[in-house]
Amino acid sequence: MTNKNPTSYDFIGDIHGCHDTLVSLLQALDYQYSDGCYRHERRQAVFVGDFVDRGPHQIEVIDTVRAMVDAGQAHAVMGNHEFNAIAYVTEDKKYGGYLRAHTERNERNHWAFLEAMQASPERYDELLEWFMTLPLWLDLGDVRAVHACWDRDGIAFLKEKYATDGLMTEALLHAASDPENPEFEIVENLLKGKTIKLADGLSYQDSVGVTRHYMRVRWWDADATTYKAAFIGPPAALSHIEDDPIDGDHLIEYGHNEPPLFIGHYWMQGKPTPLSPNIACVDYSIARREIGKLCAYRWDGETELDAQKFVCVPRLEP
């Protein structure tokens, strides 16, 4: 039974291979398994990307999500981890090697998925093909989803140049992997969020211990005018971030009258709450063993988002 014109969607955050937790969340949201996938009589799910890497059940997560999408019970958008997985195995026609270099750090970040593919090599091509079907953004009319940032000008550029409504193409994949092209920054914005460079000589350690010279910013927040105020990242790193006014532009305008937007990606912590009246992040750090949880926002058509409408389950994976 496909629900053809739902006005009610459950936006589900980054899963990162945590299949037991995914099932626990779907059950908490009253989805039931029947006829090959999880379904809800009156609602659809929207997954905001980052299905793979980090957790123990890479393939299981994809199979559960894909079955829902195929049955018309869910939508899913691409996360940076799916984009990276494709780029990791795609040869770079211009510079040689692969579009995503096989550096030690990239391999470490991708290890859970690579290991799963070593155990099930027959699935590799098919899973990458599915990643390619995930749109970079999703506009459902009254509500929107993107993994990290709704870059309106970038979306308009891609729509025009690639005649796409969000779908990745071979040409765009290559263009977006070369920093010389405008596509690179646009896809970075959409999937990894807006970043700005710290002042010379400054850096901080991110949540997995990597030294960063760029910081993720609160791109939606016009009140965040200093580096410290705009910083998104581990609280412990804040002492390394200056309180000086931001040099240049860090904002990507998202008007208060635009449809509600759901994003993932930002490793939020604590009690879920919308980022602004019409933007909410549903990523609550599932990959962090001790504090991680998987969150959803139950949307029923409201234009102003409500902190009461998040539903979260704790991480079940050891």
Footprint of Mn ion on this chain (CB under 5 A)? Answer: 50, 79-80, 265
**Which positions ≥6 away from 88 have C-beta within 8 Å?**
98, 99, 100, 102, 106, 110
Task: Give the integer Cα–Cα distance in Å for 262 and 143.
Answer: 8
Provide the 8-state DSSP code for 240: G
Q: How far is the CB of 257 from Mn ion (least distance, A)?
A: 27
Residue 79 or 274: the one with the smaller Cβ distance to Mn ion is: 79
Cβ-proximal residues to 72 (8 Å cutoff; 6+ apart), any chain: 2, 3, 44
* 31 vs 131 by CB, closer to Mn ion: 131
Burial class (CB in 10 A: 0-12, 13-18, 19+), 162: middle
Give min distance, CB of 3 to Mn ion, in A: 28
37 neighbors 64 (Cβ within 8 angstroms) = yes
Shortest gap between Cβ of 1 and Mn ion (angstroms)? 33
Taking the least distance from each CB to Mn ion, the nearer of 37 and 294 is 294
CB 265 within 8 A of CB 283: yes
The Cα 318–Cα 261 span in angstroms is 32
Token pair of 201 as six digits = 């000589």
Please state the closest distance from residue 14 (CB atom) to Mn ion, in A: 6
CA distances from 85 to 64, 150, 245, 266 (A): 19, 22, 36, 19
Shorter beta-carbon distance to Mn ion: residue 79 or 233: 79
Cα distance between residue 39 and residue 256, in whole Å: 32
**CB of residue 6 vs Mn ion: minimum separation in angstroms?**
26
User: In terms of CB distance, is 16 or 144 closer to Mn ion?
Assistant: 16
Give me the least distance between CB of 131 and Mn ion, in Å please. 13
CB of 304 to Mn ion, least distance (A): 26
Closest distance to Mn ion from the beta carbon of 148 (Å): 6
Pair 219, 196: CB distance under 8 Å: no
Q: Which is nearer to Mn ion, 54 or 250 (CB)?
A: 54
Name which of 23 and 48 has its Cβ closer to Mn ion: 48
Q: Whose Cβ is closer to Mn ion: residue 25's or residue 146's?
A: 146
Q: Determine contact, residues 262/144, Cβ cutoff 8 Å.
A: yes
Name the DSSP letter for residue 93: T
| Residue closest to Mn ion, measured at CB | 265
- In sequence order, what are the beta bridge partners of 214? 197
Q: Smallest distance from the beta carbon of 149 to Mn ion, in angstroms?
A: 11
Running DSSP on this structure, what letter comes out for residue 56?
S
- Give the DSSP per-residue string, 161-191: HH--SS---HHHHHHTT-TTSHHHHHHHHHH
Q: Which residue, 83 or 130, has its beta carbon nearer to Mn ion?
A: 83
Counting every residue, how long is the chain?
318
